């Protein structure tokens, strides 16, 4: 059976000191949210790292192509 809560109890509720169990539960929920936010930040940062690794590989490849084209022209060939 559910306990009836009177108007007086409802008015006093926001001003009462939370129990240790309520404090622990609130802190645990806060820790879970902080962990989720940190995991999101890690995923985002990892995607930036992956993007730049791919970009560096692509640019190095283009640089090699450019160097080969310039070397071929210097030797007297045409491209």
What's the domain range around 28?
A: 19-75
pLDDT digits (tens, 9 = 90+) for 4-17: 878 887 788 888 89
pLDDT digits (tens, 9 = 90+) for 18-65: 999 999 999 999 999 999 999 999 999 999 999 999 999 999 999 999
Tokens of 31: 């820790």
Residue 10 counted as domain residue: no
Residue 6 counted as domain residue: no
| Structural domains counted in the chain | 1
Instruction: With H, G, I as helix, E, B as strand and everything else as coil, classify residue 8.
Output: helix
pTM, to two decimals? 0.60
């Amino acid at each position: 059976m559910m306990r009836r809560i009177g108007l007086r109890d409802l008015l006093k509720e926001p001003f009462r000191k939370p129990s240790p169990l309520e404090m622990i539960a609130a802190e645990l929920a806060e820790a879970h949210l902080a962990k989720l936010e940190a995991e999101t930040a890690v995923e985002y940062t990892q995607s930036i790292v992956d993007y730049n690794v791919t970009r560096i590989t692509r640019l190095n490849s283009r640089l090699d192509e450019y160097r080969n084209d310039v070397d071929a022209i210097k030797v007297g060939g045409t491209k």
